[in-house]
């Protein structure tokens, strides 16, 4: 099978400091006034958030999904390779480091090459897993090409192994339902390849990765036990996917022993990653991915980018610190446990455990501080280390929070994400892994909460530069306007979220010259926000221009 790279190229390349950087285009100017007006109205109508103490319950004995990892993408051909310092920053878990435990790389279009080997080896050396996704091949996929395509995947697995990189898994195809300049597959072809050739792949197999979690790509696999036996992971992206579509009852029913992975997304590619409260949106999205989607793995798009967890100046961004509130403490080998997901309007809580550690992550999207009573059933841990990222803090160590009989009270900074980490007796033991192999780098979650080290608290945009949404909101709960490039994907019908938090299609892989991802809300009236967002969505969809690629 002849495989080739998209001749037109995936991006407009600009050389800056030796790095190939995409020219990330902005919003369509024609829809800005309408969106700004609607957002301003919603901002006036939304409340500031409750200041009185609310109550949340964590039940350690009610175990949910296994946590495989949190990480990001490196694509040397498209965005330049990570430097040695950036690799350490991304995958190390010391002070000032992100603690990522997963790396996604591309499968070479033709013959395997070494472009991503150095970063993959560094990730594995730090204890992360590495998985790979194919993009391009000539023509439209058909069953007659299955055998050569399986060989193509296996050749890449073998090549990387010979380079010292044991791939944890490999995907069938990147976004077959969004394909324009890369390979298109129908749901039937994805199913048939897995059914007839999945067992031949020499590492764990990930399904085709739908760009917007279209269940049509996964239902046929889940409903066919023979096909399901050949795949280890159902992988998806979340472009234009409302939070209401994150749950997957059919997977809950038939997916025992398998994992759900969120293998690619970004909350906003048009706003600098240090802009606050826009950056807080990734924390809210991580909450929904873990709680509503029950994903075992979450993967950001480019690790190093102006809107990424590491900025182009080589420093961890505000968005990166929000991710680190999860990734540094919730390590491979942890399980999510049942907890009160929304103890009050605009406040989101999730909880996790290992055999010795308990981690609670709380996102406060409201523009005022508040107090929260938390009851952690099944734990005798007497105190928890507290870490906070907010407008003025970057994974700052905020001391200890005392607990008595499993109960504690914590104050939440306005527009912040707070992590509580406790170690001690009384934490129920976790069960075995999900059946996909042992967890890489499992162990204690508390390998250093950096006291803001390495992060530029005030670099980038000033507070409020992320738009008028203020509260940060429920990232991913709406979806980017026009994320599918056909005017039908998603729509900004969101129940909260930072402006741009659905993954703007205006740049990088899902780009167009137009489009705007707009999510509003957080603390105020959800019904009011939804009604106004309908207006925003209509205005944007009628004004936007088509596009198929991130630029």
The catalytic residues are 175, 264
CB atoms within 10 A of CB 435: 11
What backbone phi and psi angles, to 5 degrees, belong to 450? -70, 135
**Residue in this structure with the two tokens 């600098």, named with its chain if needed:** 272
Q: Measuring CA to CA, how many Å separate 287 from each of 167, 307, 383?
A: 27, 19, 23
Closest CA to 497 of 521, 515, 481, 516: 521
Q: Measuring CA to CA, how many Å separate 421 from each of 156, 296, 380, 543?
A: 40, 20, 13, 47
Closest CA to 292 of 421, 475, 417: 475
CA 394 to chain centre: 19
The C-alpha angle 177, 182, 186, rounded to 5 degrees, equals 35
Quick one: tokens of 149? Answer: 């395509």
Residue 513: in which H helix or E strand, if any? none
- Tell me, what DSSP letter sits at residue 66? E
CB atoms within 10 A of CB 317: 29
- Tell me, what DSSP letter sits at residue 314? S
Are 301 and 209 a contacting pair, CB within 8 Å? no
Residue 76: in which H helix or E strand, if any? helix 76-79
Query: Exposure of 471 by Cβ count < 10 A (0-12 exposed, 13-18 middle, 19+ buried)?
Result: buried
Closest CA to 184 of 503, 476, 485: 485
Strand pairing category for 357-364 and 347-353: antiparallel
CB atoms within 10 A of CB 259: 25
Are 238 and 212 a contacting pair, CB within 8 Å? yes
Are 259 and 293 a contacting pair, CB within 8 Å? no
CA 250 to chain centre: 22
CA 1 to chain centre: 33
Quick one: tokens of 120? Answer: 């993959």
Closest CA to 372 of 395, 394, 339, 397: 339
CA distance 179 to 519: 26
């Amino acid at each position: 099978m002849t495989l080739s790279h998209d001749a037109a190229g995936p991006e407009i390349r600009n050389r800056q400091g030796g790095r190939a950087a995409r020219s990330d285009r902005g919003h369509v100017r024609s829809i800005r006034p309408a969106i700004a007006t609607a957002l301003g109205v919603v901002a006036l109508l939304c409340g500031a958030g409750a200041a009185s103490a609310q109550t949340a319950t964590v039940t350690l004995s009610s175990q949910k999904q296994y946590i495989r990892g949190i990480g990001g993408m490196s694509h040397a051909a498209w965005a330049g390779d990570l430097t040695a310092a950036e690799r350490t920053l991304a995958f190390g878990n010391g002070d000032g480091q992100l603690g990522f435990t997963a790396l996604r790389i591309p499968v070479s279009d033709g013959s395997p090459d070494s472009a991503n080997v150095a970063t993959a080896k560094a990730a594995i050396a730090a204890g992360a897993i590495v998985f790979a996704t194919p993009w391009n091949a000539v023509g439209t996929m058909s069953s007659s090409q299955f055998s050569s395509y399986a060989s193509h995947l296996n050749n890449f697995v073998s090549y990387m192994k010979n380079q010292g990189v044991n791939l944890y898994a490999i995907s069938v195809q990147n976004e077959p339902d969004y394909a324009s300049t890369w390979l298109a597959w129908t749901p039937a072809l994805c199913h048939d390849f897995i059914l007839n050739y999945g067992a031949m792949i020499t590492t764990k197999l990930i399904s085709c990765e739908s760009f917007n979690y279209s269940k049509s790509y996964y239902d046929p696999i889940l409903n066919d036990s023979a096909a399901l036996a050949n795949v280890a992971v159902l992988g998806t992206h979340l472009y234009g996917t409302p939070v209401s579509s994150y749950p997957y009852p059919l997977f809950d029913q038939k997916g025992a022993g398998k994992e759900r992975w969120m293998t690619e997304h970004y909350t906003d590619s048009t706003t600098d990653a240090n802009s606050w409260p826009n950056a807080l949106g990734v924390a809210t999205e991580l909450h929904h991915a873990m709680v509503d989607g029950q994903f075992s793995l979450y993967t950001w798009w480019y690790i190093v980018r102006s809107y990424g967890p590491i900025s182009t100046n080589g420093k961890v961004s505000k968005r990166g610190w929000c991710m680190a509130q999860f990734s540094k403490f919730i390590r491979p080998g942890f399980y999510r446990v049942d907890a009160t997901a929304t103890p009050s309007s605009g406040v989101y809580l999730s909880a996790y455990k290992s055999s010795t550690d308990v981690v609670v992550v709380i996102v406060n999207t409201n523009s005022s501080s508040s107090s929260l009573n938390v009851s952690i059933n099944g734990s005798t841990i007497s105190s928890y280390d507290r870490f906070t990222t907010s407008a003025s803090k970057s994974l700052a160590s905020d001391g200890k929070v005392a607990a008595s009989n499993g109960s504690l009270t914590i104050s939440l900074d306005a527009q912040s994400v707070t992590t509580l980490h406790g170690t001690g007796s009384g934490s129920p033991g976790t069960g075995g892994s999900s059946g996909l192999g042992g967890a890489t780098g499992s162990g204690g979650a508390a390998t250093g909460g950096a006291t803001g080290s390495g992060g530029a608290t005030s670099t980038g945009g000033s507070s409020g530069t992320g738009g008028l949404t203020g509260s940060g909101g429920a990232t991913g709960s709406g979806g980017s306007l026009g994320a599918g490039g056909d005017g039908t994907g998603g729509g900004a019908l969101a129940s909260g979220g930072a402006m741009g938090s659905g993954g703007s299609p205006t740049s990088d892989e899902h780009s167009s010259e137009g489009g705007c991802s707009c999510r509003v809300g957080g603390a105020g009236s959800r019904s009011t926000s939804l009604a106004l967002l309908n207006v925003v969505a209509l205005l944007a969809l009628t004004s936007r221009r088509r596009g198929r690629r991130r630029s």
